[in-house]
Structure 1
């Protein structure tokens, strides 16, 4: 069985991905793709992580987990999603790294699902927007201490995925930038479900609708009806063109509030982020979904 673990930089997803997957659950089931509700596995996996601290899983641990998760359902592909696979927000930074527990958690998952093929799918985002949200619940003093100990310029996604790749050299990894998600949403859902390019899904334009005016969406859907044979690449180009004209500016703005967070720093972090994303393509076995 293929077991797909979806996670994301905290706050890159507010449950919309899970909602979209569940809206497609019946169609996915016909393809032997299971999308269990998170209530069936999040606590189970959390407890399993705790039990695996320095120990080897019990011989029947995998079968017990799968039976509890699938609940008499059968599947060739199992999709599990949780933004806390790498730890809660307080573990987002540590040792000068993003998600210092990530490689260890993926090794644990590989041990738990030892007879299966595991895969990681994850959204990343610009540290300039990620850090203010990840540290939102920390006090101003804690924020200042964390940022002093870990300069934001040093936090690289390529370092995170290099660590994960060293831990699990053969595991497929699929990632995408949260900033691109409205345009690549159908491709992201297909990647998780293991579908072929162009296969229809429910809710493929849900995120686009959130940031585009009603008039823009009306014209966009009319364009698709008039051009039914567009490829995925062509559809993405059309989406970008319509967003250029009809995007809702207020939906694209994000409030950034951290000590010392200046316009110059945001610009610097954005440039580092862009260069870092380019480096991700050099990691073996990593697929980057782009517009």
Structure 2
């Protein structure tokens, strides 16, 4: 059985991606792709990731995973989408590393799922906007702990991606940037599902409401439905044109005032992030999806 693990990152539209896939569960199921609700598997996967072979779920793990998700003989691909598998939200960063506890969790999951064909999917985000978002979402104690240890210029995604390759070398790793999601949304749905439902993904354009003015997403859907793109490049060109006209900048703005960073520091973090993306793109066994 193929298993697609969509592991994050937190605060990068994971719930919307999972929600859209769930909206198409019946159509995907007709092609042997199962998208179970997060509640059915999350606690089991977290316990397995943190306890490994000592987990209460370890004996007959695959059978138990099939049981809780509803996978059966007709299931060729199982999609498990939840960033909590790699870390709880308070543990996203220790101030110097992103997902510092992921190494042990990846190694544990590999032991339990190693006989399956596993793909890892992960969306990264510029620390210049990511850390303010993490701090805003954190509870007081967690926020103070991050702020006390924060060395923002040391934060990189590449060590986490390298750990995925090191500790799960058989798994294919696919990475994309949150900043590129508007142009890659449909493509990532297709990649995670490994197929396209007949008639396309239902409600796929709802996500664009999160970045467009009212009515913009509906207009984009209407246009692309009436004039289907000839290829992915054409789709992205149309999306870019609609974003130029209907993007709601207020929905994209991230309030960095929770930090004491000035524009110069934000520019530095962005430059470091771009270098980090280039490093990830050069890694063997990693597919970096870009527009």
Query: Taking structure 1 as reference, are residues 152 and 199 closer, same or farther at Cα in structure 2, changes over 3 Å only?
Result: farther
Query: Taking structure 1 as reference, are residues 192 and 34 closer, same or farther at Cα in structure 2, changes over 3 Å only?
Result: same
Residue pairs, 1:1-291, within 5 angstroms: 1-13=1-13, 15-52=15-52, 58-70=58-70, 74-94=74-94, 96-135=96-135, 136-139=138-141, 141-147=144-150, 151-195=151-195, 200-214=200-214, 216-217=216-217, 219-225=219-225, 227-291=227-291
Tell me the distance in 1 between the aligned counterparts of 2:95 and 2:133. Answer: 19
Query: Taking structure 1 as reference, are residues 97 and 143 closer, same or farther at Cα in structure 2, changes over 3 Å only?
Result: closer
Gaps of 5+ in 1: none
Gaps of 5+ in 2: none
Query: Taking structure 1 as reference, are residues 163 and 216 closer, same or farther at Cα in structure 2, changes over 3 Å only?
Result: same
Query: How many pairs are equivalent?
Result: 288
Tell me the distance in 1 between the aligned counterparts of 2:96 and 2:215. Answer: 46
Residue 86 of structure 2 contacts residue 102 of structure 2 at CA under 8 Å; is this kept in 1? yes
Moved more, 112-121 or 128-137: 128-137
Q: CA RMSD for the aligned pairs?
A: 2.6
Q: Cα offset for 1:198?
A: 11
Q: Cα deviation per residue 1:199-229 (whole Å; 9 max; x = unaligned)?
A: 7211222222332234644653454355335
Q: Cα deviation per residue 1:22-57 (whole Å; 9 max; x = unaligned)?
A: 101001001100011111101111222343277898
Residue 153 of structure 1 contacts residue 269 of structure 1 at CA under 8 Å; is this kept in 2? yes
Query: Taking structure 1 as reference, are residues 257 and 112 closer, same or farther at Cα in structure 2, changes over 3 Å only?
Result: farther
Tell me the distance in 2 between the aligned counterparts of 1:267 and 1:248. Answer: 22
